[in-house]
Amino acid sequence: MFIFEGVQPGNLSPEHMQEHMGKWMAWIDKLRKANKYVAGEPLLPGGKLVSGPNGKSVTDGPYTEGKEVVGGFFIINAKDIDEAVELSKDCPDLGHGSKVQVRQVMKVEVGQPA
Amino acid sequence: MDQNKNINQLVDHLFRHESGKMIAVLSRLLGLQNIEVAQDIVQDTLLQAMSTWGYKAVPDNPAGWLYRVAKNKAIDFLRREKRFHKISPEYGYLLESEYTLSSTVNNLFLENEIQDSQLRMMFACCHPSIAEESQIALTLKTLCGLSVNEISKAFLTTDETIAKRIYRAKEKIKTEKIELQVPQSYELSSRVDTVLKSLYLLFNEGYKSSNSDKLIREDLCEEAMRLCFLVTQHSLTAFPRSKALLTLMCFQASRLDARLDDKNNIILLKYQDRSKWNRSLMSKGFELMEEAAEPFEVSTYHLEAAIASQHAAARSFEQTNWKNIYHLYEMLYQLQPNPVVAMNKAIASAYAINKQNALNELQQIKGLENHHLYYASIGEIYFDLENKPEAKKFYQKALDLTSSAYEQQLLKSKINNC
């Protein structure tokens, strides 16, 4: 799984946004053609942070403006973490203050101990 | 959504153009005094598109998707702000009731209303109380969706300068209480002239040679044409002179590709490969010129367009009808007696009459002492009269005055030939 952490771009011009989106689509297209892409969703900014017993505390967050936010995730097919890391290096957000968290999804067979 | 739809199916500059449309529509809905709110809504909308289309696919109707999101954001804003009369002088009473709120917003996003809003925005950006340079900057920011940085690159200036121009324009909108209206009949004609002037300057800014990013300059020409086209499409503003300006732009733009060589050096009209001239823009130009002829009026745009058409009609530089061109410049000079027109008239006379006449006309011009093209033209005439020492002297004067790398290169090669 790729988890995208980044700073919400504030001052992009419309032209840049379109260009940037094009890069994302090209990247997903490439992953899809190589049968590496399974699914992905963008996340809306904002959200709530629930904590405490029975969810006593509900606050806006977990982030404040300008700080790093999780912008979305991909689930990809990779044979191991090394391949996943290689695949993540094409992410168009990299180099603009953003990071990709690469995590392995734990495969748990039902009925058997993990 | 169709998974196979990808970015390549998106129209070039879609975001930029839709941004201009949405800012115009939302400013009309919320009142021009809330233009910054409109800009924020549009920015949020585009960000949302950027982060979701990238993951999924481009919607079948991208513009419709953007409008829907922008509409919802605008409605949210209106529900939060209850002072409707202060918000929108035009629609306040319709926005107060939930009953009419959505339909009012929806109506404004219909195609003909979008065009109407853009036209109103053009009148607001080109309000006579706003300085010309600020008019152009504000037009590019609000109607063309260019960022401050993109504008400053095109104008070879700093972000700070452009930001200041836009700030001053917005201050005027506040202090003069400018709203998004089509001007009243008695002032319509002169207000259209201000808009046309601003579009003319915008086009020239993009057209004139300089060493800044070539692409972004051609964008300026394209934007000027797009807006001028809008002016010609509205029954209230489709004056013959509006069409004449668009004609002129078509002819000039048809030569854009032939004007620079592979190394970005300027190619003078005389040496341009005319097969590179854009035929479809040229025929559009001829077609529009007929439309601009009725009802009869003679504007400077008509005369400039007619001059450009003479070049477009000529198979080669030698076959150009210079007598017609000279005559048109004489008429233009009567309408607009300024030294730049006088210089162009003099140059035309070199071919229409003779070189000596051109030299005499050029030497009589006052007011171009700091204009490099003036000295370059005199140098050119001396060169043709085979007076190389004088030619060299004037080319050198021109070289000292120009800051454009292209033109410096051109002049240096001329000096070497002397």
Dihedral of alpha carbons B224, A16, B143, B101, sign: positive
B9 lies within 8 A of chain A by CB:
no
Give the chain B residue whose CA is nearest to the CA of A30: B6
B14 lies within 8 A of chain A by CB:
yes
B10 lies within 8 A of chain A by CB:
yes
The C-alpha atoms of residue B63 and residue B109 are separated, in whole angstroms, by 11
Place of tokens 């199916």: B9
**Cβ-Cβ contacts under 8 Å, A29 against chain B:** 6
Contact B335, B300 (CB under 8 A): yes
Q: Which domains does chain A have, with CATH numbers?
A: 2-102 (3.30.70.1060)
Query: For every residue of chain A, which 3-state class applies, written as one string?
Result: CEEEEECCCCCCCHHHHHHHHHHHHHHHHHHHHCCCEEEEEECCCCCEEEECHHHCEEEECCCCCCCCEEEEEEEECCCCHHHHHHHHCCCCCECCCEEEEECCCCCCCCCCCC
b vs e for B107-121, b when ≥16 Cβ sit within 10 Å of the residue's Cβ?
ebbeeeebebbbbbb
Are residues B46 and A17, on separate chains, in Cβ contact within 8 Å?
yes
Which of A18, A24, A40 is facing B15, going by the closest CB pair? A18
pLDDT in tens, chain B (418 residues): 344 455 556 778 899 999 999 999 999 998 898 999 999 999 999 988 988 887 777 899 999 999 999 999 998 888 887 766 566 667 777 777 777 888 888 889 998 899 999 999 999 999 999 999 999 999 999 999 999 988 888 777 899 999 999 999 999 999 999 989 889 888 999 999 999 999 998 898 888 755 556 666 788 899 999 999 999 999 899 999 999 999 999 999 999 888 887 777 778 888 899 999 999 999 999 999 999 998 999 999 999 999 999 999 999 999 999 999 999 999 999 999 999 999 999 999 999 999 999 999 999 999 999 888 899 999 999 999 999 999 999 999 999 998 777 788 889 999 999 8
Nearest CA-CA partner of B81 in B23, B37, B21, B142: B37
Cis peptide before B128 (omega within 30 of 0): no
B13 lies within 8 A of chain A by CB:
yes
- Largest alpha-carbon pair distance within chain A? 53
Interface of A with B in 75-114 (CB under 8 A): none
Are residues A15 and B150, on separate chains, in Cβ contact within 8 Å?
yes
